[in-house]
Chain A
Amino acid sequence: MRSPLLPHAPLGRLFGLIEAMAETPGPDDLYRLAARLHLTLDELHPLVEAARLLGWARVERGDYDLTREGHRVAGADVKERKALFRERIRGLPLIATILGGLATGDSVPRETVLEGLHSHVPPVEAERQIDTAVNWGRFADLFDYDADDACFRPARQTGRR
């Protein structure tokens, strides 16, 4: 079963990984990829998890294989990447929870989302989940977050969609 949690993948690195995977599209060994990129397992793991969660790579028994959409992401510009990413993360439980809250109100306090997570994960991980959701949601232009009052807000329509 897929984990409902978000892997803590910085997006610049994630896209870098997809590009690197596209150079040797596989199926190929993950350890070979890790060695080529000088990444430790701890660094590689969240990136690979994210690639799998987004449907951009298949990963099985230490091998990876880019999906058709993964190949598309590798060759896409930032605008197209953003659009593909947005569609993929909309339905993820934590992202959907935040979007659901924003559909019925002007803002969603971080605390409210945290409380919902506390029954699933330890407090430190809950905080990290929120931070990753903030980053992903902002990149996807799905919602905004104001660190001054710790509230999620609807995205402003500034992006070139």
Chain B
Amino acid sequence: MPEPLLSLVGVGKRFNGAEVLHEVSFDVVSGEILALVGPSGCGKSTLLRIMAGLIPATSGQVLSEGRPLTGLNPATALVFQSFALLPWLKAAENVALSLEARGVPAVERLRKAERLLDVMGLAGHARAYPRELSGGMRQRVGIARALCQDPRVLLLDEPFSALDVLTAQTLRDQVLDLFHDPAVSTRTAVLVTHSVEEAVYMADRVVALRANPGRVAEVVPIDVPRPRRWNGPALVPFVDRLYALMT
């Protein structure tokens, strides 16, 4: 088995003395989509931010490609539920912004941004402001921005929950396609979701979390070939099992 890209070893987190996460351990393996699913209060978004190095764990350790994580994790890039685009920048500029801090020259930044917008089906919207875009399009820009950093692991924080049913379903499939797209280097993702159906549809493995404090109930492999059918008969037993684990 290859070395995991990310390892959480007994990770705990307290906010103002209250325990939010209790001894959470799991690995993220290269090439997989790992879903973190659980009820609100299980600390799944907090876990994602700990993996990104945005907040430190109170106890335990995060290993990024074998090395203990201190500070921001350059091997990851985060996609937010709320898109988090800067309204005064055009789509391509929003995407390119993440490269500015890395000292990439302006022309190259914009070229790469436009290539990733194209991957997301938005080449023609490169010069659109966020206000000119629908929710689904804004999230595509958010994903392009994350991919632009060539992360080893893409961290997706409820990326579909602000979208309507139809838009979300199209975008889920598009995200699954990304990891086979030769124009994209990223092959691994961690998806945080409160939808068991979504976790089972998207993921190779699902980490089922319990709440108060957040802890791992079980890691469930979803050994169902793709393409899968939303709520299809092959997936229903996994949905059933995960509900049982978390409630």
Q: A residues engaging B (CB < 8 A)? A: 10-13, 15-17, 19-20, 37-39, 43, 47, 77-79, 81-82, 131, 134-135, 137-142, 144-147, 155-156, 158-160
Q: A10-B136, A139-B121 are in contact. Are A147 and B129 (CB under 8 A)?
A: yes
Complex Cα–Cα for A68 and B243 (A): 39
B125 engages A20 (CB within 8 Å): no
Q: Which of B97-137 contact A (CB under 8 A)?
A: 114-115, 118, 120-129, 132, 134-137
B132 engages A134 (CB within 8 Å): yes
27 A-B residue pairings within 8 Å (CB atoms): A12-B134, A12-B135, A12-B137, A12-B170, A13-B136, A13-B164, A15-B170, A16-B165, A16-B166, A19-B169, A39-B165, A39-B166, A47-B166, A77-B177, A78-B177, A79-B121, A131-B132, A135-B134, A138-B128, A141-B123, A144-B127, A145-B127, A145-B128, A158-B126, A159-B118, A159-B124, A160-B183
| Residues of A close to B121: CB separation below 8 A | 78-79, 81-82, 139
| Residues of A close to B170: CB separation below 8 A | 12-13, 15-16, 19
| Residues of A close to B115: CB separation below 8 A | 158
B128 engages A20 (CB within 8 Å): no
Q: Residue A155 contacts which of B124, B134, B165, B171 (CB distance < 8 angstroms)? A: B124
B134 engages A10 (CB within 8 Å): yes
- Extra contacts besides A39-B165, A43-B164 (7): CB < 8 Å: A19-B173, A20-B166, A77-B177, A78-B174, A135-B134, A147-B132, A160-B183
A141 engages B124 (CB within 8 Å): yes
A-B complex: 8 closest residue pairs judged by Cβ atoms: A16-B166, A12-B136, A138-B124, A159-B123, A78-B121, A12-B167, A10-B134, A13-B166
A20 engages B169 (CB within 8 Å): yes
A12 engages B166 (CB within 8 Å): yes
Complex Cα–Cα for A110 and B226 (A): 45
Q: Which of B149-180 contact A (CB under 8 A)?
A: 163-171, 173-174, 177
Residue of B nearest to A153 (CB): B127
- A23 → chain B, closest Cβ, in Å? 8
- A138 → chain B, closest Cβ, in Å? 4
Q: Determine which residue in A10, A17, A37, A38 has the highest number of CB atoms from chain B within 10 A of its CB, and name it.
A: A10
From DSSP, what is the main secondary structure of chain B's interface residues? helix
| Residues of A close to B183: CB separation below 8 A | 160
Residue of A nearest to B114 (CB): A158
Residue of A nearest to B91 (CB): A138
Complex Cα–Cα for A144 and B135 (A): 20
Complex Cα–Cα for A159 and B124 (A): 7
Residue of A nearest to B165 (CB): A37
A137 engages B124 (CB within 8 Å): yes
Complex Cα–Cα for A41 and B29 (A): 45
B136 engages A158 (CB within 8 Å): no
Complex Cα–Cα for A10 and B127 (A): 18
A17 engages B127 (CB within 8 Å): no
Complex Cα–Cα for A17 and B166 (A): 6
B166 engages A139 (CB within 8 Å): no
